[in-house]
A and B are shown apart, each in its own frame.
Chain A
């Protein structure tokens, strides 16, 4: 076995391999006319991106990319092609000229900009030296949690996260408006005659669903220590529910979680998040200032040994505030994903035609 030459940079080699893979998959998505193949390759694309993000030391982003990009958006897109022909038409090449030129211009601009970008991981670059560094230094004092990403997302920039949760809620409202009403072709579970092929998935699903749900809660509450949080947990929870619907039929799932309940939970999640902000405001702080989550009279009741760090009693407010808003995010994200799935589920081409006739 020969040793690698000392100048061989493993990370760089990995970067190049992953980028080439991304390019190949992206090219294949653009070339294929089969929508099913395109969706599967999109999922592969997301998975490779997630790996690449891990290589770049961004596990939180990688986690989100994996569960959202490779996971739930694949399921939703698969639901959507049930309503189409599954094959895309090959467009006339003349109609592709203008978009192609626009793409080339944008790509050129991106390359032009990249020339001036600081190197990856350059400690002196503005992004790492200024606010980024300040977050790393201030988080233990201000928030008191190991995962700085969670601290930034749910405390320093919690207003952004409220906005993003609202975006998810808005998407749910939109899909419910467009697809949530009208006739359904069939909500019945797959037939259960003796010797049918659904036994294996059913048994497997019965074993899997509780574990997936448990994992969602682990991701939810582990967010302040490692990668994770309400967004990822919400998607994983939704995946458990969608798996139930796929195996046991939409009717069974809708009996457990009616569409109206799912919609209400989505809105309650945002209400919980904004409500925490308003409580902080009523206790004399700014909106979402968790240091004011508990009024002083309550904070004095907390026994000293529970505080951990007695000098930073306000960390309690931060911890509970972050926990509660992450719960709001979990509710909204999982309920919205389920709402979106309900929107597509059970709609077939016939049902859509029937609706168009009315």
Chain B
């Protein structure tokens, strides 16, 4: 297994700038893709940019393992005057997640865009996709609260448009994207209002500096309001129940490239930023921070996990099932974080990574089948397993992992959550997890029943197996679900160091 301490992924000259290159490489690629003469070239630029960003993320991972934290000063002005990137164990984990999801999605896009989007738009779609990656990676890397807002906007603006073009010009994508735009903008505005208040109280925008100065302040009304605005704003972006209304539509009607990438990354990075604010920037000892975690975050997460799992059970469209499931899983992750122990945070973050891998597998498998079938409703997937066995099997592996069948990554993720909850003495969390997991079994069962055990009605359109260009990344992802289910040392290592970075304690 990879030991990050001995990982020297890139030559030293590049490693010194790796935190920045990880963000700027997709940005430059996005500009280049918009200038590209043909769809094919823009796809190659997209893959190159994503792979380069992932390579740089690996280089950063090595440095963080050796030094604990990597700071990169931009413009030659040390914070608080200038902006610096600040990546610790938590940042590395999310950066690796985002950049590897970017690589997989960009590989997949070569085939999916051809069927879903007109050829004249490919260069701009790739450009938007790369901008989205830039935004998410910048958000993860930065150590500056306002800079995080800027990158949040970069990723969001790209996403709104990409959702709006719709899978095969699906008109329902337009209201979904509009909904997402309004909710997302409200979320971003709340976040920036909160940062404004925090700036008024501390006079700084650098997160570490802000934390240090907040620790010396009494709880003033400005700080409390700032906290509330930041958390609600990020809660909308993270699709925290009950602020998740934008998500099902956005995930369901977007081109499959976008749902794949969003499902794996978008809510995760917002959860990351929220965790940094709740546990790092605001001294967790502050009465209102603790009250928020105990009385707001945990109950909402629990309600979301159960209510949205139920909604998924009664949903008819397969992508909407997965979207509601995503909101429910956000609840699982937040439940783990709300335990506020190193074990709980580690379990929650492990779940975050696991869920990203599971959802990207499922959405990619669906996308691969839908390329030829164009189906959406559960019934239309009847008998697909016979026509597209490879895609269907990969889907089944992802689904099993989502349900938490032993020997898959999903099982370990759930197990660790339950273990952490028991250790923290939160029996009610275990009960909630059990109920939600049971519901997960139900909707996963419904999907698998339709795909594997129902015969296609006569005269129904036939599915074709997805092309190799789709199957290759898909099976890498499905394989990882099993591999990590058997040997989870890599994700465990990442989650543990992330949790330690977040809560600043020994394991």
Contact = CB atoms under 8 A, between A and B. Distances in A.
A174 interface: yes
B72 A286 contact: yes
Nearest to A163: B150
A142 B77 contact: yes
A286 B160 CA distance: 33
A290 B75 CA distance: 7
- Could you say which interface size class chain A belongs to? 35 or more
Nearest to B166: A178
A160 B31 contact: no
Nearest to A166: B154
A159 B75 contact: yes
B278 interface: no
A130 B204 contact: yes
B225 to A, nearest CB: 3
B229 interface: yes
A173 B128 contact: yes
Interface string B165-186: 1000001000000000000000
A221 interface: no
Contacts of A109: 225, 228-229
Interface string B232-264: 000000000000000000000000000000000
A227 interface: no
B317 interface: no
B108 to A, nearest CB: 19
A159 B161 contact: no
B488 interface: no
A318 B138 CA distance: 24
B43 to A, nearest CB: 16
A173 B222 contact: no
B162 A160 contact: no
Interface in A255-314: 263-264, 266-268, 270-271, 274, 277-278, 281, 285-292
Contact of B157 (A126, A128, A167, A266): A167
Given A127-B203, A131-B81, A178 B157 contact: no
Interface in A150-197: 155-160, 163-164, 166-167, 169-171, 173-178, 180-181
A140 interface: no
A156 B74 CA distance: 9
Given A158-B75, A288-B74, A115 B221 contact: yes
A118 interface: yes
Given A112-B221, A274-B24, A356-B171, A174 B74 contact: no
A163 B154 CA distance: 7
A23 interface: no
Interface SS of A by simple majority: helix
Contacts of B72: 286-287
A125 interface: yes
Contacts of A125: 200, 203
Interface stretch (B58-66, B117-125, B425-433): B117-125
Contact of B118 (A115, A175, A181, A290): A181
A271 B128 contact: no
B75 A178 contact: no
A117 interface: yes
Contact of B34 (A117, A118, A267): A267
Contacts of B161: 170, 173-175, 177-178
A135 B153 CA distance: 26
B435 interface: no
Contact of A177 (B31, B124, B193, B213): B124
B98 to A, nearest CB: 16
B157 A287 contact: no
A142 B157 CA distance: 34
Contacts of B228: 109
B197 A113 contact: yes
A273 B201 CA distance: 33
B99 to A, nearest CB: 18
23 contacts: A112-B224, A113-B224, A116-B225, A126-B204, A126-B213, A127-B203, A131-B205, A157-B83, A158-B75, A163-B154, A170-B154, A174-B157, A174-B161, A175-B161, A177-B162, A177-B164, A177-B165, A178-B161, A178-B165, A263-B34, A267-B32, A270-B31, A286-B72
Given A160-B146, A291-B76, 14 more contacts: A112-B225, A113-B222, A118-B200, A129-B203, A134-B81, A159-B75, A167-B157, A173-B128, A175-B161, A266-B34, A267-B34, A278-B28, A286-B75, A290-B76
Interface of B: 17, 20, 24, 27-28, 30-32, 34-35, 72-77, 80-83, 118, 120-121, 124-125, 127-128, 131, 134-135, 138, 144, 146-147, 150-151, 153-154, 157-158, 160-162, 164-165, 171, 193, 197, 199-205, 213, 220-226, 228-229
Interface of A: 109-110, 112-113, 115-118, 125-132, 134-135, 138, 142, 155-160, 163-164, 166-167, 169-171, 173-178, 180-181, 263-264, 266-268, 270-271, 274, 277-278, 281, 285-292, 356
